[in-house]
Amino acid sequence: MEFRDLKTQYQTYKNEIDSAIQKVLTNTNFIGGNEVKELEQQLSEYVGVKHAITCANGTEALSLVLMAWGIKEGDAVFLPDFTFFSTGEVVSFVGATPVFVDVDRNTFNIDTEKLEQAIVQTMEEGKLTPKVIIPVDLFGLPANYPEIEKIAQKYKLLVLEDGAQGFGGNIGGKRACSFGDAATTSFFPAKPLGGYGDGGAIFTDDDILAELLRSLKVHGKGSNKYDNVRIGVNSRLDTIQAAILQVKLKAFANHEVTDVNRVAGHYNERLKDIVEIPYMPEGYISSFAQYTIKLKNKAERDNLQRKLKEENIPSMVYYVKPMHKQEAFSDLGYAENDCPVTNELCDIVLSLPMHPYLSEEEIEQVCKVIKEFMN
């Protein structure tokens, strides 16, 4: 059994993927080929925004936006404590200070009440200037953007949606990566829409920001790549990855989001009275980058994971350590017990196999082991 079954996906679309790769090999346009522009157009249409700008990976997608916005030393950027390291890393990378906010225990996403408290506290302390909120669409579920955008407007902050895991989710029909002032996603192979290597994209309706991002991602180019008008970086999506992603985006839009929600429904039906299953707010749809359950304590979680492994069932813990406990951020002065919800979640969460090609028999096998263990 696969945790995320890229092998079956490839076999399903082997002819289309092989043909797309062969076309790039034949044309030899490995950097900046037509497939890149075509993919950007398809991505912007799928998400429902004016601009999709591809880049080398999801981390650099975040960095590029912060660079374009001029975020720097002395600025505060607010983000959830329960997330992957890169969300905070990019803030420090541009010289600003990440401010970690505890999350909602139900959704795993940033707690909007605690977010506002953190903004007010930062303003009152007067050491940093609040500038940006980076909500994360964890495990495929979009963050609470209706409330986040109200808070951002109240305190005149920018919102950068980290949709690395959220691509394909939506709130009331509005798709992930269309919220805030800009949004990003990742095409890391295990993400909802993954390539066969690194890749990322930025989404925005802001024409000026889009133009600046296209310059920054290619060495700060002006009219051409040898006319450099600013300091930028080298962050381009390879043509081969774009070609692969064109095939996979079509499958993603046609059936994969529907199928992962079908899988989640089967899990929910079997596990709802056994463990804490994922919470789904009304009007939200998740792309289920992960299907994550909660156990009673760390010992129970670890023992269940051990039992699943004995039965050759893969599982993962996202995340074993909160952001505020990462050694790289030790100079920020957080206490061990800050962000208590995140501290608890790191001890009790467990992600089960989840992908569009998971069979009902495999789901039943996973759930049977969990039920036997819990009983």
Taking 3-state DSSP, the helix, strand and coil percentages for the chain, each rounded to the nearest 5, stand at: 45, 15, 40
| pTM score, whole prediction | 0.97
Domain boundaries for CATH 3.90.1150.10 within the chain: 255-374
pLDDT digits (tens, 9 = 90+) for 47-95: 999 999 999 999 999 999 999 999 999 999 999 999 999 999 999 999 9
Average of per-residue pLDDT across 162-191:
98
pLDDT digits (tens, 9 = 90+) for 305-329: 999 999 999 999 999 999 999 999 9
Residue of 259, 356, 246 whose CA lies nearest to 17: 246
Architecture of domain 255-374: Alpha-Beta Complex (3.90)
Backbone torsions φ then ψ of 219, nearest 5 degrees: 55, 30
Contact criterion met (CB below 8 Å) for 32 and 214 = no
The pLDDT value given to residue 319: 97
pLDDT digits (tens, 9 = 90+) for 195-233: 999 999 999 999 999 999 999 999 999 998 899 999 999
Determine if the peptide bond prior to 319 is cis (ω within 30°): yes
Q: Does the structure show a pLDDT above 90 at 123?
A: yes
Average of per-residue pLDDT across 149-170:
98
- Beta-strand runs (E) in 205-317: 284-285, 291-294
| Gap between the Cα atoms of 174 and 189, Å rounded | 25
Contact criterion met (CB below 8 Å) for 193 and 166 = no
What whole-number percentage of the chain has pLDDT above 90?
Answer: 99
Q: Does the structure show a pLDDT above 90 at 339?
A: yes
Average of per-residue pLDDT across 290-314:
98
Contact criterion met (CB below 8 Å) for 241 and 338 = no
Average of per-residue pLDDT across 8-36:
97
Residue of 177, 125, 133 whose CA lies nearest to 151: 133
Angle 98-100-106 from CA coordinates, rounded to 5°? 145
The pLDDT value given to residue 225: 85
Average of per-residue pLDDT across 338-366:
98
| 6-100+111-247 carries CATH number 3.40.350.10 | no
Domain boundaries for CATH 3.40.640.10 within the chain: 6-100+111-247
